[in-house]
Amino acid sequence: MSREGWTRVAVRRTYLELRSLAELKPGRLPAEHVELRRRFPIEPADYLELYTLVGERWLWRDRLAWSVEELQRYLENPDVHVWSAHLRGHTAGYFELKRHPDRVVEVMYFGLAPAFIGRGLGGWLLTRAAEEAFALDASRAILNTCTLDAPQALPNYLARGFTIVREDQYLLDVPETSVQRQTDLQRLTTRS
């Protein structure tokens, strides 16, 4: 049952993989120089700043439920790699990779800060995430997205050479304002 101000929506989650670096279709280079920084070590507060900057509008909540101690342990794991992109002194986006014991590297989180969406950086940043995944000796790179993510997310993954391996659907309670924002974004994207 939904709470007041919240609504239950059906969410489609799509799982994708890139089997080798040779399958990567690089995105175009940004028009301006973008600095990519490996964030190790990274403090939980700095990590949450990136996570919230990029994910708040897409309802990313998983890491917000972790205690500072849980997040600190996670970020100290040598198989976790956080990279941030910077343009003219502003954080443009970030990605987080996690190497699993079977050599699969998962793109745990990926995205752009709101001010940098639609500026041609997403394809390049995803290219760099895939390159860094395979630099970790990945047997393949995996990620998932859902219908709550940016409308550009799935098309970007497919354009870079990721292929869909499966989909599932689940129900999620979200703030009603988020549903309206997603509808507005979809409408704007289809007009462009």
Q: Coil, strand or helix: which one is 28?
A: coil
Q: What six digits make up the tokens of 108?
A: 């745990």
Whole-number Å distance between alpha carbons of 133 and 137: 7
Contacts of 160 (CB under 8 A, 6+ apart): 18, 24, 25, 26, 27, 123, 126, 127, 130
Whole-number Å distance between alpha carbons of 108 and 94: 11
Determine the pLDDT at residue 179.
Answer: 52
Nearest alpha carbon to residue 93 among 114, 120, 72, 66: 114
Q: Is residue 137 a contact partner of residue 103, using CB atoms and an 8 Å limit?
A: yes
48 is a domain residue: yes
Q: In which residue are the tokens 């993510």 written?
A: 149
* Per-residue pLDDT in tens (0 to 9) along the chain, 192 residues: 457 888 999 999 999 999 999 999 999 999 999 999 999 999 999 999 999 999 999 999 999 999 999 999 999 999 999 999 999 999 999 999 999 999 999 999 999 999 999 999 999 999 999 999 999 999 999 999 999 999 999 999 999 999 999 999 999 988 887 555 555 444 443 444
Q: How do strand 35-38 and strand 90-99 relate by DSSP bridges?
A: unpaired
Q: How many domains does the chain have?
A: 1
22 is a domain residue: yes
Q: Is residue 71 a contact partner of residue 88, using CB atoms and an 8 Å limit?
A: no
Determine the pLDDT at residue 182.
Answer: 53
Determine the pLDDT at residue 190.
Answer: 42
1 is a domain residue: no
178 is a domain residue: yes
39 is a domain residue: yes
51 is a domain residue: yes
| Partner residues linked to 45 by β-bridges | none
* Domain span at 151: 6-191
CATH number of residue 159's parent domain: 3.40.630.30
